[in-house]
Amino acid sequence: MNFVREKNTPLMEQYLNLKAQYQDHLLFYRLGDFYELFFDDAIKAAKLLNIVLTKRGNLYGQEVPMCGVPAHSSESYLHKLIDLGFKVAICDQLETADEAKSRGYKSIVKRDVVQIVTPGTVVEDSLLEDKNSNYLASIVKQNGEYAIGWLELSTGCMFYTRVFVFANISTM
């Protein structure tokens, strides 16, 4: 018998709602002791991380691609994805399964994105390159003056200067 699910499971509904908010990120979705990735995220990550691509059931007659990494060793996988230029949204469980059950028979564990990791916002020592700086810069124009500020995110060092320009800097 070929079963076609016409409705999302609560878990998949939760995943899809979160993914809709972070469409341009790979979503590391915590399921127990693993971070799972689904659909296109799973296909990309499995290839890039050299991990097994599997499936998690069917949705509307289509297999749902899935891959995962153990939560306890997720940093090495994150490091590789960041080095490749990806943005990763980390979705963690905000309660235990027992806490979810206490809310009701079919309650799903609450989850939400707790961290965004990108090549420009890495501050975790384990993900930083020892000899590389991570600068975030901003330029503001006000009353014919430009203010330029930059911050080295991993050390917290901040620099700024004002620039008086007679020519229009936007034409440079």
Q: Which of 93-97, 160-164, 168-172 is the most confident on average?
A: 93-97
Higher pLDDT, 137 or 125: 137
Question: Which is more confidently placed, 122 or 65?
Answer: 65
Q: How would you classify the pairing of strands 54-59 and 26-31? A: unpaired
State what percent of residues in the chain have pLDDT above 70.
Answer: 81
| Average pLDDT over the chain, rounded to an integer | 83
- In sequence order, the 6+-apart residues with CB closer than 8 A to the CB of 127 are 75, 78, 79, 82, 117
Quick check: 147 and 133 in contact, CB under 8 A?
Answer: no
Q: Is 21:12 a contact under the CB 8 Å cutoff?
A: no
User: Is residue 61 predicted with pLDDT exceeding 90?
Assistant: no
pLDDT given at position 123: 57
pLDDT band at 132 (very low <50, low <70, confident <90, very high): low
Question: Chain centroid to CA 78: how far?
Answer: 9
Q: What is the CATH number of domain 10-124?
A: 3.40.1170.10
pLDDT digits (tens, 9 = 90+) for 4-35: 445 778 888 899 999 999 999 999 999 999 99
State the pairing for strand pair 88-93/26-31. Answer: parallel
Any idea where the domains of the chain sit in the sequence? 10-124, 135-171
For residues 75-90, average pLDDT? 92
- pLDDT, mean of residues 125-134: 61
